Amino acid sequence: MQVPAYVEYEKATSVEHALGLLAKFGPEARILAGGHSLIPMMKLRLVQPETLIDINGLSELSYVTVDNGRLRIGALTRHAQLLDAAAAGAHFAILHDAERVIADPVVRNWGTIGGSLCQADPSEDLSATFAALKATMIIRGPGGSRTVPAREFHTGAYQTVVAPGELLTEISIAIRPGGGSAYEKVGRRVGDWPVAAAAVAVWLDPETGGTITDAGLGLTAVGARSFAAAEAEDFLRGAAATEASYAEAGRIAAEHCNPASDQRGPAEYKRHLAGELTVRALRRAVRRARQQPGGEP
């Protein structure tokens, strides 16, 4: 039986209240949202907070909206809500691709987007997704809100820039016409962490759809810096949207990642997957970008 260590518990009634509780209880307090990352770690005593601050009542942090040319996702949004949100899938099909392969439907009912990002597991699927989409994180603290680009959000395994007295409140993505996106994941079984995964967002030239004008490439579970494949992105910008380009982008992405051998597979296999899944995600993202001149199907 895995039992967490003794812990105190507070229920936040508003974002301001949550910030006040964080300030009061200091760095040994932890925010409790869905708890499906935190509670397993507490059971194994990998983390032993002194106080849990339950934010499940903060409905003001649970939303998926389109606002001022941006898709805005509240940090307390459950994975199931994001998967159910038509607006999210319409603008960024990658979000639904990724959510469909995160955990299982019941876990998705309770786990949150913010919780997954803040746990910052190197195999977590949304980190690479938001890196590919070049999302912006909004973090609230006692002094107000600050924004952090997705690629600067993580500082290492299980480490983010969210400081002890702060709360991640929103993830937002700029909506641009002419784009397509996709997520390709290989895992050992349903709901498992990926062996490797690739996240792709591309924008094509509006006249012919034959050239990639911009690209975002994310990689999961292969030790990619900031969950991104920046060198492959540089190659793709301005490149023709052809199989030859996808293959080269895959080769570059595989070359620049840093997978480790573990129970999910040997490093060489993960490196191979990084390349191959980048190619497959590119194919699908480009097809989606072409299907609708203004955006995705």
Partner 1 sequence: MQITVTVNGAEHVREVEARLLLIHFLRDDLGLTGSHWGCDTSNCGACVVWLDETPVKSCTVLAAMADGHRVRTVEGLATNAASEEGSGEARGGGWGAGGGELDPVQQGFTECHGLQCGFCTPGMMMTARWLLDRNPDPSPEEIREALSGILCRCTGYENIVRSVLWASKHEAAGRASE
Closer by beta carbon to partner 1, 8 or else 67:
8
Measured in whole angstroms, how far is the alpha carbon of residue 22 from the centre of its chain?
Answer: 25
- In the complex with partner 1, the residue whose CB is nearer, 192 or 234, is 192
Asked if 78 contacts 108 with a C-beta cutoff of 8 angstroms, the reply is yes
Q: Of the two residues 194 and 295, which places its CB atom closer to partner 1 in the complex?
A: 194
Q: Which is closer to partner 1, CB of 105 or CB of 293? A: 105
In terms of CB distance, is 39 or 87 closer to partner 1? Answer: 39
Q: What is the DSSP letter of 259?
A: -
Task: List residues binding partner 1 (CB under 8 A).
Answer: 1-9, 11, 32, 35-36, 39-40, 42-43, 52, 54, 56, 103-107, 109-110, 190-191
Least spacing, CB of residue 86 vs partner 1, in Å: 16
Distance (Å, rounded) from C-alpha 251 to C-alpha 245?
A: 10
Residue 56 or 211 with smaller CB distance to partner 1: 56
CB of 205 to partner 1, least distance (A): 37
Shortest distance, position 34 Cβ to partner 1, whole Å = 9
Least distance to partner 1 from the beta carbon of 166, Å?
22
SS3 for 57-124 is CCHHHCCEEEECCEEEEECCCEHHHHHHCHHHHHHCHHHHHHHHCCCCHHHHHHCEHHHHHHHCCCCC
Q: What are phi and psi of 296, to 5 degrees?
A: -105, 160
For 226: left if phi > 0, alpha if psi spans -120 to 50, otherwise beta; the answer is: left
CB of 33 to partner 1, least distance (A): 10
Q: Which is nearer to partner 1, 41 or 137 (CB)?
A: 41
Question: Rounded to the nearest whole angstrom, what is the least distance from the CB of residue 155 to partner 1 in the complex?
Answer: 27
Closest C-alpha to 175, from 87, 68, 69, 269: 69
Q: How far is the CB of 47 from partner 1 (least distance, A)?
A: 13
